[in-house]
Amino acid sequence: MTPPEFAEEVLDDLELLRARDPRGLLPAVAGSGAQVRESARLTTEAGLGRVTDGGRPRGLVVVARREGAVAGEVLRALLGPSSPVTVEVVPGPTLPVWTGPSDVVVVATRTGAGRYAVTPAYEAGRRGVSVLGIGAESAPLHAACSAARAPYVALPASRVRHATLWSLLTPMLLLAADLGLLPEGVADPEAIAAALDEVAGECGPAQESFVNPAKTLALEMLDALPVIAAEGPLAGAAATRVADQLATLAGLPATGFRLPDQRVAACAVLGGPLAPREQGDFFRDRADDAGRRLRLLTIRDDDGAGHDGAGEREPRSAAEAMDEVLRTAAAHNVPVSGLAEHGDPSRFGRLPRLARQLAVADFSAVYLALALDNERALGA
């Protein structure tokens, strides 16, 4: 494990980063834009018409875990409560008992193998339910989809574990667009890919720490106990991904709160027993601090932060709740990091903004893991 005082030197040493990254997580995250473009092409080639020609379904059932489940939650949050189609995310291997011919089942997994993926595909075919499969080439799931004459998005074997989110999410977005559930242009793969490419240029390993938003965030998290505040449901889905990546790659526990629902709990944590007891000297040596310090990580979504119409809750918008959480953090001297708030986020649409946030978070989690030498330790 690298001492905190040497972490910045590690992150700016390209050869050392390569040596500590045997699975190639950094190149995989940097290639997220290419993943979107390739997955969009593979989805088109798979022929979504076999699922969408029957018209709008009653419900979408996403059978997935980990990255696939996050993709399903992003889709559900993007469609929102006013969607005419319900979206249910389940881990498998069983389908909800109500799933029938008027529904669509999406089975999303990087490997395309395992009972939790293959069994629901066969079960959907038996019930006469339309299926879209997403998984590795020549996987058992591919055979199950072929038996049901269902489209299958065959992902290349080069996909790396923990860096496949966009390969699983892109087909879901295109399916929702083809079903008329998303306005035209909202899920434009090229706009999403361009945003991911821009982050790859800003956050790649060649960019030094003092100008690299992801390396900066990784260094801030090195001695932190992260508290994630997410502004609305779409940011909440992103928070789930961020917490999972920090835990899985870097072994760092993170607590997430979706606003405005969990505003009270977030403020209680930021002002609770783990908060700094006194402001102290701002210029003190942080190495003298004992243990980890709370750090607030904010995920903003201006399009999902408006009044939700709930008369019993105060505040009634995610934006107002976020303001209160930020005031609580300031009052208790809890440092704050804003996820992907560099540059001008307002020039991006909602999904490209989300793509930027997820990409910076993925880069940061990988950098943190490499600074701690966690990847080689897990390999050993």
pLDDT of residue 3: 59
Q: Is the pLDDT of residue 41 over 70?
A: yes
Q: Is the pLDDT of residue 286 over 60?
A: no
pLDDT in tens, 42-67: 999 999 999 999 899 999 999 999 99
Average pLDDT over residues 25-31: 97
List, in order, residues 6 or more apart from 292 with CB less than 8 Å away.
223, 224, 225
* Side chain identity, residue 289: D
pLDDT in tens, 14-24: 999 999 999 99
Q: Tokens representing 147?
A: 């038996």
Confidence of residue 323 (pLDDT cuts 50, 70, 90): very high
Contact predicate 229/254, CB 8 Å:
no
Residue listed under structure tokens 């018409």: 49
pLDDT in tens, 133-167: 999 999 999 999 999 999 999 999 989 999 999 99
Contact predicate 110/83, CB 8 Å:
no
* CA 326/CA 299 separation, integer angstroms: 12
* CA 115/CA 113 separation, integer angstroms: 7
pLDDT in tens, 98-142: 999 999 999 999 999 999 999 999 999 999 999 999 999 999 999
The pTM score is: 0.93
In the CATH hierarchy, which top-level class contains the domain 4-22+193-379? alpha beta
pLDDT of residue 378: 66
pLDDT in tens, 328-371: 999 999 999 999 999 888 899 999 999 999 999 999 999 999 99
31-187 folds as Rossmann fold (3.40.50)
Q: What is the mean pLDDT of the chain?
A: 92
pLDDT of residue 278: 64
List, in order, residues 6 or more apart from 225 with CB less than 8 Å away.
253, 254, 274, 292, 293, 294, 295
Q: Is the pLDDT of residue 298 over 90?
A: yes
pLDDT in tens, 170-196: 999 999 999 999 988 899 999 999 999
* CA 341/CA 347 separation, integer angstroms: 12
Average pLDDT over residues 278-302: 73
List, in order, residues 6 or more apart from 42 with CB less than 8 Å away.
153, 154, 155, 171
List, in order, residues 6 or more apart from 158 with CB less than 8 Å away.
none
Q: Is the pLDDT of residue 307 over 90?
A: no
Structural domain spans, the chain: 4-22+193-379, 31-187
Confidence of residue 305 (pLDDT cuts 50, 70, 90): low
pLDDT in tens, 64-85: 999 999 999 999 999 999 999 9
Q: Is the pLDDT of residue 291 over 80?
A: no
pLDDT of residue 135: 97
Is 4-22+193-379's fold the same as 31-187's? yes
Percent over 90 (pLDDT), the chain: 85
Contact predicate 230/257, CB 8 Å:
yes
Percent over 70 (pLDDT), the chain: 91
Q: Is the pLDDT of residue 283 over 80?
A: no
